[in-house]
C-alpha cells in the first residue's frame, strides 16, 4: 500500500469534525433554545453548550472515518463507485462502495456496536435494502457485503448480527460478513489497521481537552463562520431575553464577534439586517 500522509488525514479529520461547529451551535440555539436554558435540566447552560458540541463531534467523527477508510481502499487499488443508488421510489446512500477484480465491495460502516435493540433491527433492515438495490444495479457482478464496526471493543449485538447476516447471505446468495476493527482489512487482505491506530494515537494527543465555545477568543474566525447564516437565526437569538442573558455572556464575553456582526449587517441594504443592526446596538 502507498503510504498515507498523516498531515493530510489530520487535515481531513479536523475539517470534517470541527469546521462549522460554531455555525451549527448558533442554529441549534435559535431553533431549540429550551434545550439550553430550561430549568428542567440537570445542567447549567455552559455545560449543555459543551455537551452539544462534543456530541456533534462524535457524529462527525464517523463521517471523517468514512473518508479515511475510503482512502485506504483506494490506495490498495480499489476503484471508488457512485455511492448513491436508487430504483423506482427507493434511494439509498452507501457508506463505502468499491470495485476490484470484477467484484463489488459494499461496506455498511458504523463506529461501534453499542446501540439498543430497536436500532439494531432498523440498521440490519436498512442494510438489506441496500443489498437488494446493489444486486439489481450490478446483476452480472459478484457482490461482497460487510456490516462493519470500526471500534472492536464494543460487540453488544454480535450474536444478533451474526444470525441476521447468515440469513441474508443464504437468501441473496452473496458473501455477507460481520467485521469489527481489523477484521475488515484481514478479510480483504490489505494493510490499513496499523495506520489507523497510529494516526488516532498521535492525533488525539494534539486535541484540546475541551472544545472552545468562547467565540471572542478568535472573533474574526467566528465572524467569518457565522456571518452568512440566514438572518432568521440571529433574529430568534436576539429577541430571546433568556438566551441573551444566559448564553451570550458565554459565547460573546467581550462582544467582539457581535461588533463585527453589527458592522457587517450595517452594509446590507435590507430591512431585516437594519433590524439586526439596531438590536445588537441596543445589546452593546
Q: What is the pLDDT of residues 35-65, one digit of tens each?
A: 998 888 888 899 999 998 998 999 999 999 9
Is the pLDDT at 95 greater than 60? The verdict is yes
Is residue 135 located within the same domain as residue 162? yes
Is residue 95 located within the same domain as residue 162? yes
Residues 200-251 pLDDT 10s? 999 999 998 888 899 999 999 999 999 999 999 999 999 999 999 999 999 9
Specify the pLDDT at position 65.
96
Is the pLDDT at 265 greater than 80? The verdict is yes
Is residue 181 located within the same domain as residue 83? yes
Specify the pLDDT at position 118.
81
**pLDDT-based confidence at residue 90 (cuts at 50, 70, 90):** confident
- For 271, the domain range is 6-64+208-283
Is residue 98 located within the same domain as residue 32? no
Within-domain flag for 216? yes
Is the pLDDT at 1 greater than 60? The verdict is no
**Total count of domains within the chain:** 2
Q: Return the sign of the alpha-carbon dihedral for residues 169, 90, 56, 51.
A: negative
Residues 153-208 pLDDT 10s? 999 999 999 999 999 999 999 999 999 999 999 999 998 999 999 999 999 999 98
Within-domain flag for 197? no
Specify the pLDDT at position 87.
76
Query: Of 126, 158, 189, at which residue does a domain stop?
Result: 189
Query: Of 189, 216, 237, at which residue does a domain stop?
Result: 189
Is residue 174 located within the same domain as residue 132? yes
Is residue 155 located within the same domain as residue 101? yes
Within-domain flag for 199? no
Within-domain flag for 194? no
Is residue 92 located within the same domain as residue 175? yes
- Spatial neighbors of 120 by CB under 8 A, at least 6 apart, are 157, 160, 161
Within-domain flag for 13? yes
Strands 79-80 and 96-100, bridge-based pairing: antiparallel
Specify the pLDDT at position 3.
66
Residues 133-150 pLDDT 10s? 999 999 999 999 999 999
Is residue 139 located within the same domain as residue 114? yes
Give the three cell numbers for residue 129: 435494502
Whole-number Å distance between alpha carbons of 10 and 67: 11
Q: What does pTM read for this prediction? A: 0.85
Within-domain flag for 198? no
**pLDDT-based confidence at residue 284 (cuts at 50, 70, 90):** confident
Q: Return the sign of the alpha-carbon dihedral for residues 205, 208, 209, 210.
A: negative
- CATH number of the CATH domain containing 127: 3.40.1350
Within-domain flag for 236? yes
**pLDDT-based confidence at residue 2 (cuts at 50, 70, 90):** low
Within-domain flag for 155? yes
Residue 256 burial (CB < 10 Å; 0-12/13-18/19+)? middle
Specify the pLDDT at position 88.
76
Is residue 104 located within the same domain as residue 25? no
Q: What is the mean pLDDT of residues 120-133?
A: 94
User: What kind and span of H or E run contains 46?
Assistant: helix 45-75
Amino acid at each position: 500500500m502507498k503510504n498515507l500522509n498523516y498531515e493530510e488525514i489530520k487535515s481531513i479529520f479536523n475539517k470534517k469534525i470541527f469546521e462549522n461547529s460554531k455555525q451549527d451551535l448558533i442554529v441549534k440555539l435559535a431553533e431549540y433554545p429550551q434545550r439550553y436554558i430550561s430549568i428542567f435540566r440537570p445542567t447549567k447552560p455552559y455545560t449543555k453548550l459543551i455537551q452539544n458540541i462534543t456530541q456533534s463531534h462524535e457524529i462527525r467523527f464517523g463521517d471523517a472515518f468514512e473518508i479515511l477508510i475510503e482512502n485506504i481502499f483506494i490506495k490498495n487499488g480499489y476503484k471508488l463507485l457512485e455511492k448513491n443508488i436508487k430504483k423506482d421510489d427507493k434511494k439509498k446512500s452507501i457508506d463505502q462502495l468499491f470495485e476490484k477484480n470484477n467484484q463489488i465491495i459494499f461496506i455498511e460502516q458504523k463506529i461501534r456496536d453499542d446501540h439498543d435493540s430497536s436500532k439494531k433491527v432498523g440498521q440490519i433492515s436498512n442494510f438489506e435494502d441496500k443489498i437488494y438495490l446493489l444486486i439489481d444495479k450490478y446483476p452480472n457482478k459478484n457482490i461482497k457485503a460487510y456490516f462493519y464496526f470500526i471500534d472492536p471493543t464494543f460487540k453488544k449485538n454480535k450474536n444478533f448480527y451474526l444470525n441476521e447476516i447468515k440469513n441474508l447471505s443464504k437468501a441473496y446468495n452473496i458473501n455477507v460478513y460481520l467485521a469489527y476493527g481489523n477484521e475488515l482489512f484481514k478479510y480483504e487482505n490489505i494493510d490499513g489497521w496499523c495506520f489507523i491506530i497510529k494516526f488516532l494515537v498521535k492525533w488525539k494527543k494534539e486535541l484540546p481537552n475541551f472544545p472552545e465555545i468562547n467565540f471572542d477568543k478568535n472573533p474574526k474566525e467566528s465572524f467569518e463562520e457565522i456571518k452568512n447564516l440566514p438572518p432568521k437565526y440571529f433574529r430568534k437569538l436576539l429577541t430571546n431575553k433568556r438566551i441573551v442573558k444566559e448564553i451570550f455572556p458565554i459565547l460573546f464575553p467581550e462582544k467582539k464577534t457581535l461588533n463585527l456582526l453589527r458592522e457587517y449587517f450595517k452594509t446590507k441594504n435590507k430591512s431585516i439586517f437594519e433590524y439586526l443592526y439596531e438590536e445588537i446596538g441596543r445589546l452593546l
